[in-house]
């Protein structure tokens, strides 16, 4: 079940017309956390209607899904990597310290942006301390989107959580 108050707080940094994540259910299986989400993009925030989900919107939706998954993981003490975090830590670090180091997506078939589903999972979260550098969390994630028809897009992203608590 979606924590509506948490979702609203996670989406606070976004402009009103760019809040695409409508609901999210977070699960944990064998220490891996995942989110299954519903999205709606009534109108693109930057371009005329293309009739399909595009790469910019894929990234925005990924960010919103990932932020909610991390916040919920912190709140519920799910998975690994965020055990020492508080929600205050998450919100302090949400924008300046959660970085996408690598992002790739593949469109298999066009996805209807008006109503579609998505899911993502953390495949791994590890703490790293490079020689002479500050420790950070390195996270490997996978995601996919699909619609009621045959639309499909999937991808992977590597995250770096810097200035970790």
pLDDT along the chain (165 residues), means of 10: 97 96 96 96 86 94 98 93 92 97 97 97 93 92 97 98 89
- pLDDT of 141 reads 98
- pLDDT of 113 reads 95
CATH number, domain containing residue 9: 3.10.129.30
- pLDDT of 44 reads 87
- pLDDT of 19 reads 97
CA 132 centroid distance within chain: 30
Range of the domain at 125: 4-161
- pLDDT of 78 reads 94
Residues 118 and 112: beta-carbon distance below 8 Å: no
DSSP 7-66: HHHHTTTS-GGG--EEEEEEEEETTEEEEEEEE--SS-SSSS--SS--HHHHHHHHHHHH
Q: In the β-sheet with 21-29, what is the strand arrangement from edge to edge?
A: 21-29, 32-39, 116-128, 136-146, 152-161, 98-109
Is the whole-model pTM more than 0.75? yes
Q: How many structural domains are present in the chain?
A: 1
pLDDT in tens, 1-46: 999 999 999 999 999 999 999 999 999 998 899 999 999 999 888 8
């Amino acid at each position: 079940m979606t924590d509506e108050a948490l979702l609203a707080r996670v989406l606070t940094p976004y402009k009103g017309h760019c809040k695409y994540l409508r609901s999210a259910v977070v699960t944990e299986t064998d220490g891996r956390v995942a989110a299954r989400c519903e999205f709606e993009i009534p109108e693109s925030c930057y371009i005329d209607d293309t009739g399909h989900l595009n790469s910019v919107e894929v990234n925005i939706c990924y960010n919103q899904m990932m932020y909610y998954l991390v916040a919920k993981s912190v709140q519920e003490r799910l998975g690994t990597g965020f055990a020492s975090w508080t929600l205050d830590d998450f919100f302090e670090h949400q924008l300046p310290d959660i970085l996408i180091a690598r992002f790739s997506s593949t469109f298999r078939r066009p996805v209807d942006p008006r109503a579609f589903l998505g899911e993502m999972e953390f495949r791994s979260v590890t703490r790293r301390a490079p020689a002479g550098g500050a420790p950070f969390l390195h996270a490997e994630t996978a995601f996919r989107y699909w619609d009621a028809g045959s639309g499909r897009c999937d991808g992977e992203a590597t995250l770096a959580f810097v200035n970790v608590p």
